[in-house]
Chain A
């Protein structure tokens, strides 16, 4: 008996160690990728905006890692880590930001509006709350097709909880008892709007009971807590307990986009526990637990930088979309395109 208990504990410890290492590496790659995009933005190499996930990587990586490849993931704009964890490549990210014709969005959409619906990764529209009911639809369709065991996660910020789409979709998921995990990153500001101007309830997690769904609150700066919370929420959804609302407290450690100096962020928040850098904290955990040392982490960093630099160098040589050869039609049905009979 004792022997079995010890063995399973060792296995559990191994799993915890494994998920921390996997998450940390996604967080590190995401941070470095974001830094590269910021640098490219400052040197005018990127058209349009750049939106970073600085400070949100722990929650994001935990979300992506908690999912299987056959699940559905609708990320928010600060989810580079979760995307990598779910299986998006650095190359797809770079191609979309740099507008390569070879990228998944082919220059038709850019920056964070990328994805591959066929692989369960949804490319957001800017009205982010709208993604939730689309995840519901994918889960609903799978139920009709008798595909079982898959779940869908949608990431939102606290700002999106004020939209009608959030309300409609969470209620819909609850009515249909869909395996939805709705992850709200409360990063304290929706662009420049503080939470006091966004909602009046004490805790966003309280909203869950109004919809008849279960809620989970988590410190978004703490990777260990994020991994535990997300894995438990996903397991509950997968087991048929209906939608799960996860609310994480954290602070956006950057502007809304790289055009934004974030001067409105209250210094008190920056100096509070909310302002901790989740990547730094996760690194400390790895060192403290002796799951990795500085040399090892340095090696991972060098590998990530190499991967990113290689991708950027490749994409910068790739063709841009050509307006003369562009197929200027929004329809897939050829015979219904006017003048195309």
Chain B
């Protein structure tokens, strides 16, 4: 039996609902319909009264989750599309993220953001806003790149006492499959070496890990051995694993699907520059989306975000430095 990334997310939620009576799911279309992406398929039937449709009110959806968390519950809320979560931004960054620090009352909410581009989705159904949440203190921001991580990290997210922004990539939903669900995993906060190499470190997260792996396979045919670090969690950011990899390779490329100004790739490079400057044999580089809204047409969309090809090209440039 094989399982897709979105099925793993559904399974993790079923697991959490089964194991913990404090867990409930709240969001638009998550009930009988099973969610816009079927991430809550059949859950309303299996867990009556605990998988609840919400009105189109992102602010009130997050607000309700915060209140329930104060009462000791562990809500999971689905934002349907990460792009819509900005309508609940105030509650996330000003309320959920500040609650424990202000009051010592933890705020264990999991906010699921179906994020990232798919062809034809356009400017308002494609965004990758992990950076903006990572910027705020008090939030955990997770970006699983594999079916296994989608499952174990979501389970762990629900158990964490702090608000978690769980970024699940829509492109991976049905493209990635695993044979079975894992029984153990790296803890949240630890990056993973997704491919071992010695010539260049590529740091990536979420769907970009898959593109980076493909690019590395191509580069291997040219004789280059690329090491790939899958961040898994962008906040906290596992600087140690990144620096240890750069110590082995001497070269660094950071790849992110988000926009170029600031962001996770910039943060990784800033940390390596200040903590591992002496390890570098070449200027570290970043590859991001173009600095425009995400375009609709497949021709434009495919060129807007980093691709296997553009990652390969950027890697060759550093390798030849």
Which chain A residues have a beta carbon within 8 Å of chain B's beta carbons?
A: 104-105, 108-109, 113, 115-118, 122-123, 125-127, 130, 132-142, 144-145, 164-165, 168-169, 171-172, 175, 329-333, 335-338, 341
Contact = CB atoms under 8 A, between A and B. Distances in A.
Given A175-B55, A333-B161, A133 B236 contact: no
A152 B67 CA distance: 11
A130 B67 contact: no
Contacts of B73: 141, 144-145
Nearest to B91: A130
Q: Which residue, A126, A127, A138, A330, has most C-beta atoms of chain B within 10 A?
A: A330
B24 interface: yes
Nearest to B188: A336
Given A133-B60, A169-B60, A172-B60, 17 more contacts: A105-B102, A115-B103, A130-B90, A137-B70, A138-B70, A139-B67, A144-B73, A164-B59, A168-B59, A171-B55, A171-B57, A175-B55, A331-B100, A331-B140, A333-B140, A336-B188, A338-B239
Interface of B: 24, 49-50, 54-55, 57, 59-73, 75, 87, 90-91, 94-95, 97-103, 105-106, 137-138, 140, 160-162, 187-189, 236-237, 239
A329 B104 CA distance: 12
B24 A144 contact: yes
A117 B70 CA distance: 7
Contacts, number: 143
Given A118-B105, A144-B24, A134 B57 contact: no
Contacts of B59: 130, 133, 164-165, 168-169
Contacts of B160: 333, 336
Contact of B97 (A115, A133, A165, A330): A330
Nearest to B69: A137
**Which are the 9 A-B pairs with shortest beta-carbon distances?**
A137-B67, A133-B63, A141-B71, A330-B138, A168-B57, A168-B60, A137-B64, A330-B137, A141-B68
Contacts of B75: 137
Contacts of B91: 130, 133-134
A330 B66 contact: no
B67 A136 contact: yes
B259 to A, nearest CB: 23
B313 to A, nearest CB: 33
Contacts of A172: 54-55, 57, 60, 64
A108 B140 CA distance: 21
A341 B100 CA distance: 20
Contact of B138 (A115, A130, A138, A331): A331
Contact of B236 (A115, A130, A337): A337
Nearest to B62: A133
B236 A134 contact: no
Contacts of A333: 140, 160-162
A135 B66 CA distance: 9
Q: Which residue, B75, B94, B99, has most C-beta atoms of chain A within 10 A?
A: B99
B179 to A, nearest CB: 30
A159 to B, nearest CB: 16
Q: Which residue, B57, B64, B65, has most C-beta atoms of chain A within 10 A?
A: B64
Contacts of A341: 189
B127 to A, nearest CB: 20
